[in-house]
């Protein structure tokens, strides 16, 4: 199942800004969406927020995507440096590594650990294959160029929006269609092919099966991974799993299985370690 975990901002929650709208829109596209309320949102603490996100995610995989808002972006980055399994991608909205124009000394003290505790961005980059930063040119917390530069170490795309503030309800943001567009873009065929090639698959190609096509029991000598662009396929035998549109599946080496394509057919992008092995 492809899923998205949305992490809210400092002093935010699951039901404010554009998060309810985004959850609804992504569910229409077939995503499982989780929007946890993070602990002590008025006084966010790194360990507590990362622990909560770890609990919510459970077992991450390449069908797991993230959307962060403000301090939620940092939480995602700090979570990603704790895992070793690649994930599908992330969209960071109003992300920051440094802040300016904070209200008072109490706020500065709350923010200090988030600003001063380093993040292993090289490790994050190895886990996060695609990421988009959406940032405002007039973010009230400033540090625009510094934050863009730091995010450039992990992001594959940056978008600067004029006069968007901090992308809150107060700034007029109760919807965020741009986030939906970016998540859809992560599943564009050329992006998926590039990802498979970067992972070392020597043969990456498009494939189409007619409805109800059957594959008899077989196994693979090398790694075979694929994305379903349209339709579905169900595996049987030592693998029991249905893979739907927008999802990826990594076929275990040497495991016997059969498969049947769903009633709508199936369009695939396939990566083979050994050409002709699928």
Domains and CATH numbers, the chain: 3-186 (3.40.50.1820), 200-272 (2.60.120.10)
Distance CA 266, CA 64 (A): 22
Assess whether pLDDT exceeds 80 at residue 103: no
Assess whether pLDDT exceeds 90 at residue 179: yes
* Across 110-125, average pLDDT: 96
Sign of the dihedral through C-alpha 116, 122, 123, 129: positive
Provide the pLDDT confidence category of residue 142 given band limits of 50, 70 and 90: confident
Q: From residue 273, how far is each of 43, 222, 276 by CA, in Å? A: 48, 6, 9
The bridge status of strand 214-218 relative to strand 203-209 is unpaired
The number of beta carbons lying within 10 Å of the beta carbon of residue 167 is 24
Q: Answer yes or no: are the C-beta atoms of 12 and 39 closer than 8 Å.
A: no
Q: In the prediction, which pLDDT does 57 show?
A: 98
> Where would I find the beta strands (DSSP E) of 183-256?
203-209, 214-218, 224-237, 241-244, 248-251
Side-chain-side CA neighbours of 147 within 13 Å: the count stands at: 28
- The residue among 266 and 1 whose pLDDT is bigger is 266
Distance CA 247, CA 256 (A): 21
Provide the pLDDT confidence category of residue 84 given band limits of 50, 70 and 90: very high
* Across 88-99, average pLDDT: 96
For the segment 214-226, what is each residue's pLDDT rounded down to a tens digit?
A: 999 999 999 999 9
pTM, rounded to two decimals? 0.92
DSSP 3-state of 49: helix
* Across 7-14, average pLDDT: 96
Q: Answer yes or no: are the C-beta atoms of 15 and 44 closer than 8 Å.
A: no
Provide the pLDDT confidence category of residue 129 given band limits of 50, 70 and 90: confident
| Distance, CA of 249 to chain centre | 16
Provide the pLDDT confidence category of residue 102 given band limits of 50, 70 and 90: confident
Assess whether pLDDT exceeds 80 at residue 75: yes
Assess whether pLDDT exceeds 80 at residue 157: yes
Q: In the prediction, which pLDDT does 215 show?
A: 94
Assign residue 70 a region: left if phi > 0, alpha if psi is -120 to 50, beta otherwise? Answer: left
């Amino acid at each position: 199942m492809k899923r998205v975990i949305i992490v809210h901002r400092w002093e935010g929650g699951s039901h404010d800004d554009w998060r309810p709208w985004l959850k609804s829109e992504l569910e229409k596209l077939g995503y499982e969406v989780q929007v946890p309320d993070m602990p002590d949102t008025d006084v966010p603490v790194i360990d507590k927020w990362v622990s909560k996100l770890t609990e919510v995610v459970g077992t991450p995989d390449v069908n797991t995507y993230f959307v962060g808002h403000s301090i939620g972006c940092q939480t995602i980055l700090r979570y990603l440096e704790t895992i070793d399994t690649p994930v599908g991608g992330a969209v960071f909205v109003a992300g920051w590594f440094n802040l300016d124009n904070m209200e008072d000394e109490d706020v500065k003290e709350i923010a200090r650990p988030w600003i001063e505790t380093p993040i292993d961005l090289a490790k994050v980059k190895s886990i996060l294959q695609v990421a988009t930063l959406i940032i405002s040119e007039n973010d009230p917390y400033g540090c625009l160029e510094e934050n863009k530069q730091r995010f450039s170490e992990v992001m594959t795309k940056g978008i600067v929006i004029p006069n968007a503030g901090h992308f809150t309800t107060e700034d007029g943001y109760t919807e965020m269609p741009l986030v939906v567009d970016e998540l859809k873009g992560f599943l564009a065929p050329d992006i998926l092919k590039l990802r498979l090639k970067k992972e070392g698959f020597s043969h990456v190609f498009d494939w189409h099966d007619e409805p109800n096509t059957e594959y008899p029991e077989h196994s693979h000598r090398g790694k075979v991974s694929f994305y379903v662009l349209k339709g579905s396929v169900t595996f049987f035998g030592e693998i029991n799993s249905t893979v739907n549109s927008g999802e990826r599946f990594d076929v275990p080496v040497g495991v016997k299985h059969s498969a049947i394509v769903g009633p709508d057919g199936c369009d695939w992008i396939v990566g083979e370690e050994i050409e002709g092995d699928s």
